A and B are shown apart, each in its own frame.
Chain A
C-alpha cells in the first residue's frame, strides 16, 4: 500500500517547556480512513495543520505523498481536500463565485457533476451570499469546495463540530459517497463517536502529546475490554503492572481497568485478584473507550 501521509516523531509546542505534540509517529496508506481522536487541546488540529504545511514541527518530519508539504505547497494542495476547524469563507462572495474560484484553482480536475449533485444534496442556492448562510450551510460549502476536485487525501478537522444531527448525517453521506466513488484516503478529527464508528477504518487516539491507541476500530471494539473491580489498597498499581493493561482509573467508587483481550479471558485473569469472585467485564462502544482511556484523573 502506498503511503499518502507520514508523521515521524513530530514535536511541537506553543509555550516553551509544554509540548502539545511530544513524538507523534504514524503513517496513512492509500484509501485508508483514519479517525484522529483526543480531548480538546490534545493536539489534533496542530497535527493536521502540520500535515497541511501551515505549521512547522519543532522536531521530526512530515511527508505528504512522499515529500514535506512545505517543499511544493501548491502541488500538494492540489491533491488534498481540506476543511479546517474554523474555516473562514469570504462573506461577500456568492456560492457560485466561490465555486468558480476553486474550479479555476483545481481545473481540469474539477467534477461539475459532483458539484451539482452536492449543491442539490445540501439544498444550496448558487446565488446565495456566504454571509447569509447558516453555520451548517457554510460548512457544506467548504466541504463541496474540498470534494469536487476529487482529492486523493481528504483532511477534515472536526468537520461536524457544532452541527445538528441531520446536517452531520448529510456530511457523513457525502464522505461515504466519496469513499465509494474515489476510494480517497480520509483523515478526520471528530468528537462524535457515532460518526467515527460509521466511517470506520482506523483510530488514532492522542493523549498527552503521544499516540495512546492506534488500531482498527473493530480491533478496538472487540479486542479491548473494560473490567470493574472494587477499590482495595494497592490494587490500582497491581492492575496497572499487569500485562495488557492500558489504563486504570478510579471512578464512581470503583476501579475501571482497560485491558487488551476479550472480556471472558480478561475476567478470568482478574478473578483471582477479586478473591475468586466473578469480575464484571465487557466490551465497550468507542465513546466509553474514549472516556476510559483519557477521562478523569489517572
Chain B
C-alpha cells in the first residue's frame, strides 16, 4: 500500500491516512479481504507516530471500512459501509464546487466539467478491469 503524507497539508496526518485508504478502497486498489499492514509497520514505513496510524485505523473501523480480527490483523471490510445519508451528499457537493471553480478558472464551463467527469469514470472503470484481470 502506497501512502503519501504531507505534514504541511491542510488535513491532519490521521485524516490524510484515512482519506487515502478510503480512496484506495473506492478505486479498487484495495479489495474486500485485503490485509492492511499493522499500525506499527505502517508507522515505520511512512515515518509517522504509531498512535496516529492507530487513530486512523480506529476511525476507519468505526466507519465500517476495515475490520480487525484478533490475532490475525486488519483487513478491508467485506461489505462497503453505507454512506452517511447527510454527510456524503454534502461532501460530494463541496467537491463539485471545487470542480466547477477549477473549470471557470480555466475559462471552461458546465459542459466541459461534465465531459471531464465522464472521462474520469471511463478511466477508473478501465483501471478496475485491468486490476481484476491481473488478480485472476
Indicate, yes or no, whether A interacts with B: yes
Tell me if B8 is interfacial: C-beta within 8 Å of chain A: yes
Instruction: Evaluate contact between A193 and B44: CB separation under 8 angstroms.
Output: no
Interface 0/1 of B87-126, CB less than 8 Å to A: 0000000000000000000000000000000000000000
- Residues of B contacting A282 in the complex (Cβ-Cβ under 8 angstroms): 10
Closest residue of chain A to B48, judged by CB? A198
Least distance between B85 CB and chain A CB atoms (Å): 20
Query: Which of A200, A217, A286, A287 has the most chain B CB atoms closer than 10 A to its own CB?
Result: A200
Q: Verify if B55 is at the interface (C-beta below 8 Å from A).
A: yes
Q: Point out which of B8, B43, B47, B50 has the most chain A C-beta atoms below 10 A from its C-beta.
A: B47
Q: What distance in Å separates the Cβ of B86 from its nearest Cβ neighbour in chain A? A: 15
Q: Is B7 in contact with A179, judged by CB distance below 8 angstroms?
A: no
Q: Which residues of B (1-16) have their CB < 8 Å from a CB of A?
A: 5, 7-10, 12-14
- Given contact pairs A173-B44, A198-B5, A218-B55, enumerate 11 new A-B contacts (beta carbons under 8 Å): A176-B49, A177-B44, A179-B43, A180-B43, A180-B50, A197-B12, A198-B13, A200-B13, A201-B51, A282-B10, A287-B8
B49 neighbours in A (Cβ, 8 Å): 33, 176, 179, 198-201
- Given known contacts A193-B7, A193-B8, is B13 in contact with A176 (CB within 8 Å)? no
Mark interface residues in A174-208 (1 if CB within 8 Å of B CB, else 0): 00110110000000000001110111110000000
8 Å CB contact of A200 from B9, B40, B48: B48
Q: Does B22 contact A (CB under 8 A)?
A: no
Q: Mark A267-298, 1 if CB is under 8 A from B, else 0.
A: 00000000000000011111100000000000
B10: A residues at CB distance < 8 A: 282-285
Known pairs A198-B48, A201-B49, A218-B55; A180 contacts B40 (CB<8 A):
yes
Which of B12, B44, B51, B55 neighbours the largest number of chain A CB atoms within 10 Å of its CB? B12
B residues less than 8 Å from A284 (CB atoms): 10
A214 within 8 Å of B (CB atoms): no
Q: How far is the CB of A283 from chain B (nearest CB, A)?
A: 6
Partner of A198, one of B7, B9, B40, B55: B7
| CB closest residue in chain A, given B8 | A285
A102 contacts chain B at the CB level, 8 A cutoff: no
Chain B 31-43, CB-CB to A under 8 Å as 1, else 0, gives 0000000001001
* Interface residue? A42 (CB, 8 A): no
**B residues apposed to A, CB below 8 Å:** 5, 7-10, 12-14, 40, 43-44, 47-52, 55
* Residues of the A chain whose Cβ atoms lie less than 8 Å from the Cβ of B47: 169, 172-173, 176, 198
A-B CB pair tally, cutoff 8 Å:
59
Can you name the residue of chain A whose Cβ is closest to the Cβ of B14? Answer: A218
Which B residues lie within 8 Å of A97 (CB)? none
Q: How many residues of A contact B (CB 8 A)?
A: 26
Nearest residue (CB) in B for A284 is B10
A sample of 29 inter-chain contacts (CB < 8 A) reads: A33-B51, A172-B47, A176-B43, A176-B48, A176-B49, A176-B50, A177-B44, A179-B51, A180-B50, A193-B8, A194-B7, A195-B7, A197-B8, A197-B12, A198-B5, A198-B7, A198-B47, A198-B49, A200-B49, A200-B52, A201-B49, A201-B51, A221-B12, A222-B12, A283-B10, A284-B10, A285-B9, A285-B10, A287-B8
Which residues on B sit within 8 Å (CB–CB) of A222? 12
B44–A180 contact, CB under 8 A?
A: yes
Q: Which of chain A's residues have a CB closer than 8 A to the CB of B50? A: 176, 179-180
- Asked if A197 contacts B7 (CB within 8 A), the reply is yes
In chain B, what residue has the closest Cβ to A183? Answer: B50
